[in-house]
């Protein structure tokens, strides 16, 4: 397979775009698409101080690399959830640290156990929902660290496959509230919240993996958290990949057309109430935010001696 642009050996075949690209032209295009998403959806500006949430996986490290290449000022944040099974947290932290060190970038590490006395396995005890704890912790910590560090915007590594699969799942349930909120930029609805952006939303998982490979990024392959059921999202991704196989370009079209018509769902946005958590002061939907509720429950369990 030869590069459509220069005839050199191609490293990727992008059927959706009828393009085969060599290393150089692929990297060039990848960066262009990241920049396009940033401009089209007003994700950030050149002067923004960006905090990239890095998990040690290919997407978030590729994102950090691309933003830096494009000249954005981006620091990284790794949240150590203290998951020991399969050495999950230790290995992913090492990858993030090695990446930052090689490129002379600043990585902030937040260790949940050291800061709050409990790691995720302890916070999960007694809870049946599979993955909600990680999500609550990550949202809280990302926001807090970004706020304390005076960043302007928080960026995550969600790619087109992630976004399209969530969209499909929200549509299948006609979850209008979630549909109204889904997109590459989530606005801050409270002064103590930061806007959250997804600059890789127009790039597939195959593209981010190829980018990481070509750029020599060492990342954790098996990044599925050992507590994650992940079944719904995997089923949605598989379904979309089968459709994509049949009609290349559908995934991108599905997502970008949704964003064009998203205002149709805008009326479904619940009016956000600006309540602050009594315990940590960050915005909450009730008196105490879900993160502080988790900590409280674990402390109570500890006092009862069954921890």
Q: Which does 53 bind (CB under 5 to 8 A by kind): Zn ion, ligand AMP, none?
A: ligand AMP
Nearer to Zn ion, 5 or 215 (CB): 5
Q: What are phi and psi of 54, to 5 degrees?
A: -110, 130
Q: Is the separation of the CB atoms in 132 and 297 below 8 Å? A: no
Q: Which does 280 bind (CB under 5 to 8 A by kind): ligand AMP, Zn ion, none?
A: Zn ion
Range in contact with Zn ion (rule: CB under 5 A) among 19-27, 46-54, 159-167, 184-192: 19-27
Q: Mask of contacts with ligand AMP, 73-92, x by CB under 6 A?
A: ----xxx-x-----------
Q: Which does 292 bind (CB under 5 to 8 A by kind): ligand AMP, Zn ion, none?
A: Zn ion
Would you tell me the crossing angle of helices 205-214 and 58-69 to the nearest 10 degrees? 70
Nearer to ligand AMP, 21 or 163 (CB): 163
Q: Which does 279 bind (CB under 5 to 8 A by kind): Zn ion, ligand AMP, none?
A: Zn ion
Nearest to 163 by CA among 205, 134, 194, 196: 205
Q: For Zn ion, which residue of 220, 292, 294, 295 counts as binding (CB under 5 A)? A: 292
Q: Which does 79 bind (CB under 5 to 8 A by kind): ligand AMP, Zn ion, none?
A: ligand AMP
How far, in Å, CA of 2 to CA of 9, rounded?
A: 5
Q: Shortest gap between Cβ of 281 and ligand AMP (angstroms)?
A: 22
State yes or no: residue 156 binds ligand AMP (CB under 6 A): yes
Q: Shortest gap between Cβ of 228 and ligand AMP (angstroms)?
A: 8
Q: For Zn ion, which residue of 20, 25, 198, 217 counts as binding (CB under 5 A)? A: 25
Q: For Zn ion, which residue of 240, 289, 294, 295 counts as binding (CB under 5 A)? A: 289
State yes or no: residue 154 binds ligand AMP (CB under 6 A): no
Q: Shortest gap between Cβ of 291 and Zn ion (angstroms)?
A: 5
Nearest to 64 by CA among 22, 101, 111: 101
Range in contact with Zn ion (rule: CB under 5 A) among 32-40, 153-161, 216-224, 289-297: 289-297
Q: Is the separation of the CB atoms in 62 and 95 below 8 Å? A: no
What is the distance in angstroms between the CA of the first residue and the CA of the last residue of the chain? 58
Q: Is the separation of the CB atoms in 112 and 137 below 8 Å? A: yes
In the three-class reduction of DSSP (H, G, I as helix; E, B as strand; rest coil), residue 74 is classed as strand
Nearer to ligand AMP, 14 or 77 (CB): 77
In the three-class reduction of DSSP (H, G, I as helix; E, B as strand; rest coil), residue 236 is classed as helix
- Which two three-digit tokens encode residue 35? 């920049």
State yes or no: residue 289 binds ligand AMP (CB under 6 A): no
How far, in Å, CA of 181 to CA of 163, rounded?
A: 12
Q: Mask of contacts with Zn ion, 86-105, x by CB under 5 A?
A: --------------------
269-294 burial: b if 16+ Cβ within 10 Å, else e: eeeeeeeebeebebbbeeebbbbbbb
Shortest-Cβ-distance residue relative to ligand AMP: 157
Q: Which DSSP state fits 197?
A: E
In the three-class reduction of DSSP (H, G, I as helix; E, B as strand; rest coil), residue 164 is classed as helix
Q: Shortest gap between Cβ of 297 and ligand AMP (angstroms)?
A: 21
Beta strands 19-21 and 12-14: pairing type? antiparallel
Residues found near Zn ion in the complex (CB under 5 A): 3, 5-6, 8, 22, 25, 277, 279-280, 289, 292
């Amino acid at each position: 397979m030869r590069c459509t642009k220069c005839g050199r050996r191609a490293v990727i075949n992008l059927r959706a775009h009828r393009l085969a690209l060599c290393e150089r032209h692929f990297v060039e295009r990848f960066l262009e698409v990241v920049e396009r998403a940033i401009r089209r959806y007003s994700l950030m500006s050149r002067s923004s101080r960006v905090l990239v949430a890095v998990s040690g996986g290919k997407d978030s490290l590729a994102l950090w690399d691309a933003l830096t290449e494009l000249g954005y000022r981006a620091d990284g944040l790794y949240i150590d959830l203290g998951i020991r099974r399969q050495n999950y947290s230790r290995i992913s932290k090492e990858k993030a640290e090695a990446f930052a060190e090689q490129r002379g970038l600043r990585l902030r590490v937040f260790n949940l156990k050291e800061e709050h006395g409990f790691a995720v396995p302890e916070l999960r005890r007694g809870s049946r929902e599979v993955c909600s704890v990680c999500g609550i912790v990550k949202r809280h910590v990302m926001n807090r660290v970004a706020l304390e560090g005076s960043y302007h915007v928080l960026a995550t590594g969600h790619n087109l496959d992630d976004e399209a699969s969530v969209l499909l799942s929200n549509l299948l349930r006609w979850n209008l509230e979630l549909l109204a909120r889904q997109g590459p930029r989530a606005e801050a609805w409270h002064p103590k919240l930061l806007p959250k952006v997804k600059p890789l939303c127009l790039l597939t998982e195959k593209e981010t993996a190829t980018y990481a490979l070509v750029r020599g990024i060492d990342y954790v392959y098996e990044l599925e958290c050992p507590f994650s059921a992940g079944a719904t999202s995997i089923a949605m991704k598989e379904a979309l990949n089968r459709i994509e196989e049949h009609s290349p370009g559908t995934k991108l079209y599905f997502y970008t057309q949704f964003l064009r018509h998203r205002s149709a769902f805008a009326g479904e946005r619940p009016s956000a109430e600006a309540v602050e958590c009594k315990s940590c002061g960050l915005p909450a939907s009730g008196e105490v935010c879900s993160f502080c509720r988790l900590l409280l429950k674990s402390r109570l369990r500890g006092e009862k001696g069954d921890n």
